Structure 1
Amino acid sequence: MIVLHHVHQTRSMRVLWLLNELGVDFTVIGHPFDRTLRDPEYLVLSPAGRVPALEIDGERMFESLAIMQYLCEKFPSRLGGDPRALDRAEWLSWLNFSETISQHTAALTQQHVMLYEDSMRSPIVMRLEAARIGKCYAAIEARLSTPIENRETLLTSGFSAADIAVGQAVYMAQFFARLDDYPETAKWYARLAERPAFRASLPPEGAALFERDFFPAWEDG
């Protein structure tokens, strides 16, 4: 039995997307994004009080990328995870690159969403973190622009959990930095957004964490 503890528009989305791609049976327990994640009952599952948490085979896991790697190894598929695969190093590198993007998005989520008063926010942090997301986009753009025929995924071997992890990070990052200057990345992301498993991982109407589709960097005046 697989149980995913999930909050919409957080890192648990990448695990939800992967489970949908794998086509395995699982149950989702939704949580509000508030202090209930610090309740003792939940801390048994995730000691830092964060999502995701996964209950599987009588065990519990609480780091999204570790969960993704475990699921790919437990349910072998085209999505990767085979330690013997020729592109194992690239798979691991891009899978974990998603967290580089996510840490900048998390900083901006705190600035724009969690801090309610302008006096609490830092224009320097907001501009800096948005620029750092741009650097991450540039890395993806360079990867997708390499002279390999029909490059449509991060790995030459095709769509994988690396695309899921990075794609989810880009989904979140676009609340703070647009893809206008990164055409190959925009096309890659558009293809991912058409996948049924991606659409199934999106929040239903009225359940989104963010109230707006885009939060521009701090603008004086």
Structure 2
Amino acid sequence: MITLHHCPQTRSMRTLWLLHELDVPFQLRSYPFDRTLRTPEFLSLSPAGRVPALEIDGERMFETGAITEYLCERYSPERLGRMPGSPNRMSWLVWLHFSETLSQHTAALTQQHIALREDHMRSPIVMKLEAARVRKCYDAIEARLSTPVENRDYLLTSGFSAVDISVGQAVYMARHFATLKDHPATAEWYERITERESFKASLPKGDGIYAQDFYAPWPLE
């Protein structure tokens, strides 16, 4: 049995989305995004006190990229994964790990806008800098999706894969701080992948980290 340890609207959402797409049995344990993740019990699952953590066959995994690679190799090596020898293997790995680049900038913005509750703790410079870095990541996705080749509905020309899940979930979080209005190909791709039932099943059922859809740079101009 697989058990996913998860906080809504965090990186673990991409593992939840992937598990729904794989259509394999699993149990879900959800946690609030607070000091619960620092308890000795949770640290035995994920030593840095972060989600996701995955229990599978008596073993424990953490880090979304590693979890994605393992689950794809085991359950969907051709449809969602791209195994060694596949023409798209290199691109699959690049975009899988690119999702963390985007997520790091979003994490910094989440800290500035949400985790730092007092205005004097926040930095308008950091907010603007990180939002600009998010938009640069959007530029990279836009360039990929705008390349004039056949079958450019997804990040790989061979079709939908786990990298659309990983990058798509990173965009889901990033859109709270930077819109896609100047990235039309990315917006179309995002709309396409988020129509999937597996994405809808991964959305929070109650409260998540983000209390509003968009957080404007602070202070408001």
Shorter chain as denominator, the TM-score bin is over 0.9
Moved more, 148-157 or 92-101: 148-157
Q: Does 2:67 correspond to 1:67? A: yes
Q: Does 2:155 correspond to 1:154? A: yes
Which ranges in structure 2 are unaligned for 5 or more consecutive residues?
Answer: none
TM-superposed CA distance for 1:216, in Å, is 1.0
TM-score by length of 1: 0.97
Residue number in structure 1 paired with 2:52: 52
Q: State the alpha-carbon separation in 1 of the partners of residues 209 and 112 from structure 2.
A: 14
Q: Does 2:131 correspond to 1:114? A: no
TM-superposed CA distance for 1:134, in Å, is 0.3
Poorly superposed stretches of 4+, deviation over 4 Å: none
Q: Contact between 1:8 and 1:202, CA under 8 Å: does it hold in 2?
A: yes
TM-superposed CA distance for 1:81, in Å, is 3.7
Residue number in structure 1 paired with 2:6: 6
Residue number in structure 1 paired with 2:195: 194
Q: Does 2:132 correspond to 1:167? A: no
Q: Contact between 1:69 and 1:81, CA under 8 Å: does it hold in 2?
A: no
Q: State the alpha-carbon separation in 1 of the partners of residues 160 and 21 from structure 2.
A: 11
After superposition, give the CA deviation of every residue in 1:83-119 in whole Å (9 maximum; x if it has no partner): 2211100000001000000000000000000011111
RMSD: 1.0
Q: State the alpha-carbon separation in 2 of the partners of residues 220 and 6 from structure 1.
A: 33
Residue number in structure 2 paired with 1:203: 204
After superposition, give the CA deviation of every residue in 1:107-162 in whole Å (9 maximum; x if it has no partner): 00000000111110000000000000000000000000001124110001000001
| AA aligned opposite 2:32 | P
Q: Contact between 1:152 and 1:158, CA under 8 Å: does it hold in 2?
A: yes
Residue number in structure 1 paired with 2:141: 140
Residue number in structure 1 paired with 2:85: 84
Residue number in structure 2 paired with 1:94: 95
After superposition, give the CA deviation of every residue in 1:154-193 in whole Å (9 maximum; x if it has no partner): 0010000010000000000000000000000000000011
Residues 123 and 54 (structure 1), Cα distance of their counterparts in 2 relative to 1, 3 Å cut: same
Aligned partner of residue 28 in structure 1, secondary structure? strand
TM-score by length of 2: 0.97
Residue number in structure 2 paired with 1:31: 31
After superposition, give the CA deviation of every residue in 1:38-65 in whole Å (9 maximum; x if it has no partner): 1001111000011000000110001111
Aligned residues: 220
